[in-house]
Amino acid sequence: MPDSRYMLLAVEYMAYFFIFVAGLIVMAVIITFIVDVTQRKQAIRRNYPVVAHFRYAFESLGKFFRQYFFAMDREEMPFNRAERSWVYQASKDLDTTRAFGSTRSLREPGTLLFVNCPFPVLGEDAAQPEALSIGPYCRQPYTTSSLFNISGMSFGAISKPAVLALANGARAAGCWMNTGEGGLSPLHLEGGCDLVFQIGTAKYGVCNAAGLFDDDRLRKVAAHERVRMFEIKLSQGAKPGKGGILPGAKVTEEIAAIRGIPVGKDSISPNRHIEVDNIEQLLDMIQHVREVTHKPVGIKMVLGAYGWLDELCELIHARGKESAPDFITIDSADGGSGAAPMSLLDYMGLPLKESLPMLVRCLERHHLKERIRVIASGKLITPAEAAWALCVGADFITSARGFMFSLGCIQALQCNKNTCPTGITTHNPRLQKGLDPRVKAVRVENYVRNIVHEIGVIAHSCGVHEPRELRPFHARVVIDNGHSISLEELYQDR
């Protein structure tokens, strides 16, 4: 029968195909075997040809399997599953409540506990975060009630759809967005949100050929109404003491034009501003940018050595309070970054739990806390962590990785490459197409609204009307003996 002949022919061709494929596999195994036993760079491949490659594959895949199959909810680093799940649910505006008690250990040293009031604030008596003014000596001070804001992530480190989603979400949520050190892009302006223009050590977008300030470019940036403040970056969380690193694979023509750098070449910023070598020069730079832009100017830093803070405050008093930075963004040594040397990532700088209280106490000793606003940044992605920072004395909170999770980040740990599977930190069009800016902008707005709401829930439970009324005595921390002490007692000598 004709049909039977066609079927036999199909089976015969399929057999030939499978034999051909099997032959290719055998040839590949033979070639791999020959290459492995003749190469001299890797002992394990030389001793165990072919099968040794499974070891490298498993090593690469292990970090992904662990988060789904092996790690407990509170075990992973840098963010565990419980933290990520809260952000995902808040961003999707889903129920964030839990059943059957906490999975968080309450007796581990360092555990944070808030002190509930016997007479909490009623919902109808609760207040929204009050508006604070930044830059009282500027021609154009910035006044905002925004509590939780987007930290510096430059266009380059993150993708076009990610910038658009963040900018539009920030506008809808009423919070500000930091541009990161990569300069001001049309994408930032398109979103219509308030912007903080970050000046990194390379001064992308506002420098001349010598790497120094170009005042005309500064004025051009400041002319945009939505650019509310300028932040001079001295250092950042993952790599204090080293400038920004943008791999050449992520330097597209558009990004190169904005930054004023060659296409496809690594973008490496100096490890400090070349014209700032002491405290006096730092205050000179702050004053210069403020005079040119007429807008608030602050600094961002990771605290390591801290004796110089007293010298800074003393010099501010000698020059006059108007010479002070209008704000200080204090970043944590465990802050995030797309690319950083492990030697700095793991060992350099102080974590926010230690550095934020140091900074606040120093400003209070010198009676500058009201003059200089404090912005806390670094792993503050959940309501409790943000509320802790407010207890210690922060005026505002910023987050980068929290907003990356709101965009759909799965902690794939590929930010330093051009292979981010969620399209957030890649410029590969195929990977970017999965990130719809319109959908993700709504999630950014939801995240801000829900985290501010739950920070308020903590504040009201502690007996205060709004989050900025939180004080150190509203929280405690577990110490080595398993008991807790007040943050006020913990930080009283710092």
CA separation for the pair 399, 409 (Å, rounded):
14
Tell me the pLDDT tens digit for each residue of 385-417. Answer: 999 999 999 999 999 999 999 998 888 777 878
Amino acid at 121: V
Q: Is-contact 29 51, C-beta < 8 A?
A: no
pLDDT at residue 346, as a whole number: 81
Tell me the pLDDT tens digit for each residue of 406-445. Answer: 998 888 777 878 888 888 988 888 888 888 999 999 999 9
> Which has more pLDDT, 131 or 13?
131
pLDDT at residue 287, as a whole number: 97
pLDDT at 1 over 50: no
Tell me the β-bridge partners of 375. Answer: 329, 396
Q: Which of 119-128, 201-210, 332-341, 355-364 has the lowest mean pLDDT?
A: 332-341
Q: Is-contact 54 63, C-beta < 8 A?
A: no
pLDDT tier at 62, thresholds 50, 70, 90 = low
Q: Is-contact 227 210, C-beta < 8 A?
A: no
> Which has more pLDDT, 158 or 284?
284
- Please write down the long-range contacts of 65-72, taking CB distance under 8 Å and 24 or more positions apart: 67/411
pLDDT tier at 58, thresholds 50, 70, 90 = low
DSSP letter string, 209-221: TTSSB-HHHHHHH
pLDDT at 13 over 70: yes
Domain residue ranges of the chain, discontinuous segments joined by +: 2-70, 123-490
pTM for the structure as a whole: 0.86
For the domain covering 123-490, report its CATH number. 3.20.20.70
3-state SS class at 423: coil
Tell me the β-bridge partners of 297. Answer: 230
Residues in CB range of 396: below 8 A, 6 or more apart: 132, 146, 147, 148, 149, 327, 373, 374, 375, 376
CA separation for the pair 144, 148 (Å, rounded):
11
